Amino acid sequence: MADLSDDELLSELGVEIEPVKARSYTPSEERIIAGFEDIARFYEQHDRAPQHGEDRDIFERLYAVRLDRLRGLEDARELLASIDAHGLLAEPPFGDDFQPDAIDDLALLAELGVEPDGNDDIRVLRHVQSAEDRRAAEAIANREKCADFAKFEPLFEQIQSELDSGERTTRPFELKAEIRPGALFIVGGQIAYVAEMDDVFTNAQGRSDARLRVVFDNGTQSNLLMRSLQRALNKDEAGRRITDPEAGPLFSGEAAEGDDASGTIYVLRSKSDHPLVAKHHDLVHKIGVTNMQVEQRIAGARLQPTFLMADVEIVAEYQLFNISRTKLERLIHRVFGPAQIDLSVPDRFGNPIRPREWFLVPISVIDEAVQRIKDGSITRFQYDPKEARLVERN
Q: Which of residues 71 and 121 earns the better pLDDT score? A: 71
Q: Which of residues 264 and 250 earns the better pLDDT score? A: 264
Res 255: pLDDT: 52
Q: Which of residues 95 and 371 earns the better pLDDT score? A: 371
pLDDT over threshold 90, residue 75: no
Q: Are strands 115-116 and 125-126 parallel, antiparallel or unpaired?
A: antiparallel
C-beta of residue 389 within 8 angstroms of C-beta of residue 365: yes
Q: Indicate if 299 and 221 belong to the same structural domain.
A: no
Give which of 285, 301, 190 is closest to 240, Cα–Cα. 190
The rounded distance, in Å, linking the Cα atoms of 323 and 367 is: 18
CATH number at residue 211: 2.30.30.30
In a domain, 106, yes or no: yes
In a domain, 19, yes or no: no
What is the rounded (10 degree) CA torsion for 327, 332, 337, 341?
Answer: -110
For residue 360, the SS3 value is strand
In a domain, 102, yes or no: yes
Res 193: pLDDT: 94
In a domain, 233, yes or no: yes
C-beta of residue 268 within 8 angstroms of C-beta of residue 285: yes
Q: Indicate if 136 and 124 belong to the same structural domain.
A: no
The rounded distance, in Å, linking the Cα atoms of 365 and 336 is: 10
Backbone φ and ψ for 346, nearest 5 degrees, come out as -80, 140
Backbone φ and ψ for 333, nearest 5 degrees, come out as -70, -30
Q: Indicate if 294 and 324 belong to the same structural domain.
A: yes
Res 113: pLDDT: 47
Q: Indicate if 227 and 278 belong to the same structural domain.
A: no
Domain that holds residue 281: 261-392
pLDDT over threshold 50, residue 39: yes
- Supply the pTM of this predicted model: 0.39
The rounded distance, in Å, linking the Cα atoms of 315 and 164 is: 32
In a domain, 250, yes or no: no
Q: Which of residues 372 and 91 earns the better pLDDT score? A: 372
Res 99: pLDDT: 47
Instruction: Outline where DSSP puts E strands in the chain.
Output: 115-116, 125-126, 144-145, 170-172, 184-187, 190-197, 201-202, 208-209, 211-216, 220-225, 240-242, 261-270, 284-290, 312-321, 345-346, 352-353, 358-360, 381-384, 389-392
For residue 270, the SS3 value is strand
Pairs from 202-210 (Cβ < 8 Å, separation ≥ 24): 203/227, 204/55, 205/55
Q: Indicate if 145 and 76 belong to the same structural domain.
A: no
C-beta of residue 125 within 8 angstroms of C-beta of residue 58: yes
Q: At which of 128, 153, 179 does a domain end?
A: 128
Q: Indicate if 315 and 194 belong to the same structural domain.
A: no
In a domain, 14, yes or no: no
Q: At which of 106, 128, 150 does a domain end?
A: 128
pLDDT over threshold 90, residue 269: yes
Q: Indicate if 124 and 136 belong to the same structural domain.
A: no
Q: Indicate if 163 and 237 belong to the same structural domain.
A: yes
Q: Indicate if 119 and 139 belong to the same structural domain.
A: no
* One-letter amino acid for residue 331 of the chain: L
The mean per-residue pLDDT over the stretch 344-348 comes to 81
Q: At which of 101, 128, 155 does a domain end?
A: 128
Q: Indicate if 282 and 207 belong to the same structural domain.
A: no
Give which of 283, 255, 252 is closest to 269, Cα–Cα. 283
In a domain, 383, yes or no: yes
Give which of 224, 244, 220 is closest to 232, Cα–Cα. 224
Res 114: pLDDT: 46
pLDDT over threshold 90, residue 234: no
Q: What angle, 0 to 180 degrees and rounded to 10, lies between the N-to-C axes of helices 58-71 and 27-46?
A: 120
Res 297: pLDDT: 87
- What's the number of domains the chain is made of? 3
The rounded distance, in Å, linking the Cα atoms of 190 and 188 is: 6
In a domain, 322, yes or no: yes
pLDDT digits 0-9 by tens, 315-338: 999 887 767 777 778 888 888 888
pLDDT over threshold 80, residue 17: no
